[in-house]
Amino acid sequence: MSLDLADATLAPSRTTERPDATPARERKTPVVAITAGVTIASLIAAWAISAHFRLLPALFLPSPVEVGRAFVMVARDGFVDATLWQHLGASLGRVFAALVGATLVAVPIGFAIGASRIGRGIFDPIIEFLRPIPPLAYLPLMIIWFGIGEPSKILIIAIAMLAPIVISTAAGVKSVDPDRVNAARSLGATRGQLLRHVVLPSTLPSILTGIRIALGAGWSTLVAAELVAASRGLGFMIQSAAQFLVTDVVLMGILVIAAVAFALEASLRWLERRLVPWAGRN
């Protein structure tokens, strides 16, 4: 029997490399970026050309220049008694209020589901019930219960945010590494210390992912929420513009909503990289 074999006999299948040899972070290849740029440019070109030759009436399809002009006009002079920034501020305010509320409720529920079977029995059905209902369906109920004020609007957005945060948090709690828990216990951690020093930090990446998804979900229910007697907000602005057939403002509003969604997603990803740089590296 050779020397090398002696140490290997009992462990024929063990690898010597650590499993974290995966690529650190996926980088967008230039090919994707270039293709995406070309796609966007062609869409805008097609839009500009069909608008220029009036393939559709201006009422249906204003030109990019007209939409740009609508942007400047609404930003400076306002539309339906508020500037673009006031509409944007109102919408962002609602979404962030909803986010704070939803996070405060959803994170503890996620912990309950992830950490205890009783908690799971209590909350799982509620979340599974809420999850598939489109916001427009419970909108009337919110109005009947809470009136047409700000609370209804925030609540509609918050409900849409609840499920993503709960589900993501619960998954995070369930996937806490039992070895890490045991390591802390054998170093003398009490139950409370385990929660604070091991479970909470282990779960943080999942909570942040949940918040990012929730922000997207909440932002996309904005128009529905602002159907309820709003006097400001991007959703309200679009609806008013639609009633007056001001199509360039409608299009501009849609583009602003898309741009803000993109910015929110990007800043949450940035926040994740800052707060939990270790996530996905172990």
Partner 1 sequence: MPHLAIETVTLRYDGGAPVLTNLSLDIRSGEFVVVVGRSGCGKTSLLNLAAGFLKPASGSVSVDGRKVEGPGADRAVVFQNDALFPWLSTAENVSFAARLAGVAPAERGAEAERLLEIVGLAGLGDRPIWQLSGGQRQRVGLARALAANPAFLLMDEPLGALDAMTRESMQDLLLNAWDRSGAGTLLITHGVEEALYLATRIVVMAPAPGRVIRRLDVDFGRRRLAGESARSIKASPEFVAAREDLLDSIFEREAA
Binding residues for partner 1, rule: CB under 8 A, are 1, 3, 6-7, 9-11, 14-18, 20, 177, 179-180, 182-190, 193, 197-198, 201-202, 204, 276-278, 281-282
Kindly tell me which of 125 and 277 has the beta carbon lying closer to partner 1.
277
Question: How far apart, in whole angstroms, are the C-alpha atoms of residue 115 and residue 109?
Answer: 10
Minimum distance of partner 1 from residue 16's CB (angstroms): 5
Which secondary structure element, helix H or strand E, spans residue 161, and what is its range?
Answer: helix 150-174
Kindly tell me which of 23 and 30 has the beta carbon lying closer to partner 1.
23
Please give the backbone phi and psi of residue 25, each rounded to the nearest 5 degrees, phi first: -150, 135
Minimum distance of partner 1 from residue 27's CB (angstroms): 18
Question: How far apart, in whole angstroms, are the C-alpha atoms of residue 204 and residue 212?
Answer: 12
Minimum distance of partner 1 from residue 26's CB (angstroms): 16
Structure tokens at 105: 């409720």
Q: Sign of dihedral through CA atoms 211, 216, 217, 222?
A: positive
Question: How far apart, in whole angstroms, are the C-alpha atoms of residue 266 and residue 262?
Answer: 6
User: What Cα–Cα distance (Å) separates residue 262 from each residue in 212, 257, 258?
Assistant: 11, 9, 6
Kindly tell me which of 34 and 183 has the beta carbon lying closer to partner 1.
183
Kindly tell me which of 16 and 243 has the beta carbon lying closer to partner 1.
16
Kindly tell me which of 132 and 178 has the beta carbon lying closer to partner 1.
178
Kindly tell me which of 13 and 243 has the beta carbon lying closer to partner 1.
13
Structure tokens at 134: 């489109």
- Residues in Cβ contact with 73 at an 8 Å cutoff, skipping those fewer than 6 apart: 79
Minimum distance of partner 1 from residue 208's CB (angstroms): 13
Minimum distance of partner 1 from residue 53's CB (angstroms): 57
Minimum distance of partner 1 from residue 111's CB (angstroms): 17
Question: How far apart, in whole angstroms, are the C-alpha atoms of residue 265 and residue 215?
Answer: 8
- Picking from 109, 100, 115, the residue whose alpha carbon sits closest to that of residue 127 is 109
Kindly tell me which of 120 and 180 has the beta carbon lying closer to partner 1.
180
Minimum distance of partner 1 from residue 189's CB (angstroms): 5
Question: How far apart, in whole angstroms, are the C-alpha atoms of residue 195 and residue 190?
Answer: 9
